[in-house]
Structure 1
Amino acid sequence: MKNPLGKITTEDDGYKVVFERVLPHSIEKVWNAITSPEELKFWFTDIEMDFRPGGTITFQFRDKDKTKSYGEVVAIEPPNRFAWTWEHELAVWELTALDEQTTRLVFTYSKLTDDYAINAPAGFHDMLDLLVERLAGSENISPFGAEDDGPEQLRTPVHYAAAVYETYPTLVKSAPVVVEKTLDSPIGRVWRAIANKEQLKQWYFDLDDFKPEVGFRFSFAGQGHKGAQYIHRCIVTEVIPQQKLQYSWQYEGHPGYSLVTFTLAEMGMQTKLILTHHGLETFPQDTPDFAWKSFNGGWGEIIGKMLPEFLDNEMLDK
């Protein structure tokens, strides 16, 4: 992800997400971008607004049915605070000038029900990325509400699902594969096994290359149940040495986007490893090789048998 994920928490009236961005633009320019319909159409959508507290806002989706939705202006305090409702939800934009050409933006969106607590933050995350591009001069128009299941639209919800799963698992409607294993090896040895290319090749897949660095791209071949060959395309998305390794997982020539996360916890001379694989529902569901059951069995074999055997054999070789 180009920018940090918003932080999702729960309150008495629903879920809330808070985003923070530091923008290299004046506060006046940012204020105009978040309040002017002529600017909003680029990074958000077409909006009609009675720009006064209590004024009506009409949000025009860009789907084939040209769906409309409604809200109301709550507060206008230029150039620092702008708030509005959207149906039963609340958006609050807060700007602070750090200097003449730098602005801190804090955007809070709250009163979210369970059904929207992942997809709404994911949608606003993408829109804030578009806002950054618009402020930099982009003329691209947001596809807000248009039907598109391409990887760009799938990626962000999968990242948010992975981020909230440990704290709010019931928000994730499509169950990830989760495999837990306590390994009889210290955490440093386990980290090397999952993060070192030469060691990975001995128990995992024959990777073309691997470095535990955010943004590093790698690929490898795999075989389905009936011999079908699949090229896996992956990008490292998060690295916390000896704690967390995460990368995307896609298939060349097939739609879908998923996220694999290895989490390690030290337990004396042992290590607890938790493997989670989110986004499996985005792959073609008419192909048995992409079924949840197939991934669950595969990861169970890899984490439950192949990795422990490699670590045990490595001990014997020393």
Structure 2
Amino acid sequence: MRAETIHIERTYPISAEKLWKALTDKQTMKDWFFEIPNFSTEEGAEFEFYKSNTGGQQLHQCQVIETKAPEIFKFTWRHPKQSEGTSIITWRLIPRRGATTLHLTHEGLENFKDAGENFSQDKFESGWEKLLGESLNKFLERR
């Protein structure tokens, strides 16, 4: 089975610390990402959230693998009602003179083959592009 990985980079005109807060503060996250009441950046912590789409409510279950503020946040990503598979998401923040580049990696998408077309690499990629290119961008512009 061929490994499927998404790599997306976006540069935002803010410090790594401010971008880290946007990515990891649960009050802030609900304005651009999802509302995650039990969100935590503690290594080993588990959190979950629901996303509505045309197929109904999708449960997302995650577990934090690594945290190094404001540089890296890595966690597992599962859809237990649709798939046996697990993927891994890494948010890496890279300071650049007066800005910060976010490099997102979402690996292990081949593990969701049992879940159908809604869990394809293309669907995940378009979702991340929308979240990072539109939602997060608009949120940061309002700040």
Normalization by structure 2: what TM-score? 0.93
Measure the CA separation in 1 of the matches of 2:91 and 2:32. Answer: 15
Measure the CA separation in 2 of the matches of 1:245 and 1:286. Answer: 26
Between Structure 1 and Structure 2, whose CA radius of gyration is higher?
A: 1
Q: Which residue matches 1:205?
A: 34
Measure the CA separation in 2 of the matches of 1:193 and 1:283. Answer: 28
| 1:33-182 pair list within 5 angstroms | 173-182=2-11
Answer whether contact 1:255 1:284 (CA < 8 A) is retained: no
Q: Which residue matches 1:186?
A: 15
Task: Extract unaligned runs of 5+ from structure 1.
Answer: 1-172
One-letter amino acid of the counterpart of residue 187, structure 1: A
Q: Which residue matches 1:288?
A: 117
Answer whether contact 2:84 2:114 (CA < 8 A) is retained: no
Q: Secondary structure at the match of 1:283?
A: helix
One-letter amino acid of the counterpart of residue 298, structure 1: G
Answer whether contact 2:87 2:111 (CA < 8 A) is retained: yes
Q: Which residue matches 1:244?
A: 72
* Post-superposition offset of 1:284: 2.9
* Post-superposition offset of 1:250: 0.4
Runs of 4+ in 1 over 4 A off after TM superposition: none
Structure 1 residues 288 and 264: CA distance shift in structure 2, 3 A: same
The alignment yields a C-alpha RMSD, in angstroms, of 1.5
* Post-superposition offset of 1:184: 1.2
* Post-superposition offset of 1:286: 5.7
Structure 1 residues 216 and 286: CA distance shift in structure 2, 3 A: closer
Q: Secondary structure at the match of 1:273?
A: strand
Which of 53, 56, 74 does residue 228 from structure 1 map onto? Answer: 56
Measure the CA separation in 1 of the matches of 2:142 and 2:79. Answer: 31
Q: Which residue matches 1:102?
A: none
Structure 1 residues 252 and 286: CA distance shift in structure 2, 3 A: closer
For CA contacts below 8 A with separation 6 or more, give which structure has more relative contact order. Answer: 2
One-letter amino acid of the counterpart of residue 179, structure 1: I
Q: Secondary structure at the match of 2:102?
A: strand
Provide the aligned length of Structure 1 versus Structure 2. Answer: 142
One-letter amino acid of the counterpart of residue 211, structure 1: S
Q: Secondary structure at the match of 1:214?
A: coil
Q: Which residue matches 1:53?
A: none
Measure the CA separation in 1 of the matches of 2:19 and 2:100. Answer: 7
2:51 pairs with 1:217: no
Measure the CA separation in 2 of the matches of 1:233 and 1:270. Answer: 31
2:140 pairs with 1:311: yes
Structure 1 residues 264 and 289: CA distance shift in structure 2, 3 A: same
Which of 93, 98, 112 does residue 269 from structure 1 map onto? Answer: 98
* Post-superposition offset of 1:285: 4.7
Normalization by structure 1: what TM-score? 0.43
